[in-house]
């Protein structure tokens, strides 16, 4: 898969597997207040309910992107980058890698939801052409914040 440079360290986008669950849980705890359980990660990584791309810089996972695919649709479930490694293009690289993969697979549509206050993530998604299609009021269990719903027509990009 694709690679990039982070300072002097070589970073690679890699497919995460069950052996990465501990590292992913540690990274997720740094990125979110609301955490997936080990069981939820196992559901994805062992049983295929969803997939995870990671960026490994040296031996460490610096960021990850969880997504699911159903027929010709893709949904972004989670995306996080280590706080000290933000604003270096890691999330952009993960998104580029995922969207290229989707195009190669003939996926037509991408979906996601994001907290209304999450300006960094909204800016990132909009820069890839995601368009807001709706709002789900008080959607998130942790903060009761509204979810903004976005989609992307992959056949047009």
Candidates 66, 81, 107, 148: give the one binding ligand COA (CB under 6 A).
81
- CB closer to ligand COA out of 80 and 110: 80
Strand order in the sheet with 3-6: 3-6, 9-15, 51-57, 60-70, 73-81, 109-115, 147-153, 131-136
**Residue 80 binds ligand COA (CB under 6 A):** yes
Show the site string, 23-42: x = touches ligand COA by CB under 6 A, - = not: --------xx----------
Contacts of 115 (CB under 8 A, 6+ apart): 121, 140, 143, 145, 146, 147, 148
Q: How many CA atoms lie within 13 A of 79 on its CB side?
A: 24
Verify binding: residue 129, ligand COA, rule CB under 6 A: no
Residue window 84-113: x/- pattern of binding to ligand COA, with contact defined by CB under 6 A: --xxxxxxx---------------------
Tokens standing for 89?
Answer: 């293009």
User: Contact residues for ligand COA (CB under 6 A)?
Assistant: 31-32, 79-81, 86-92, 114, 118-121, 123-124, 127
């Amino acid at each position: 898969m694709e690679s990039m440079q982070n300072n002097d360290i070589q970073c690679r986008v890699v497919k995460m597997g069950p052996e990465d669950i501990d590292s992913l849980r540690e990274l997720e705890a740094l990125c979110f207040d609301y955490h997936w359980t080990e069981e939820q990660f196992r559901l994805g990584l062992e049983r295929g309910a969803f997939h995870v791309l990671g960026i490994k810089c040296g031996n460490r996972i610096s960021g990850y992107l969880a997504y699911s695919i159903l027929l010709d649709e893709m949904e972004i479930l989670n995306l996080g980058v280590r706080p000290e490694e933000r604003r270096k293009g890691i999330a952009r690289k993960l998104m580029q890698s995922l969207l290229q993969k989707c195009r190669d697979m003939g996926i037509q549509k991408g979906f996601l939801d994001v907290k209304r206050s999450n300006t960094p993530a909204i800016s990132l998604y909009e820069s890839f052409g995601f368009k807001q299609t709706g709002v789900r009021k008080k959607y998130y269990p942790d903060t009761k914040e509204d979810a903004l719903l976005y989609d992307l027509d992959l056949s047009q990009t």
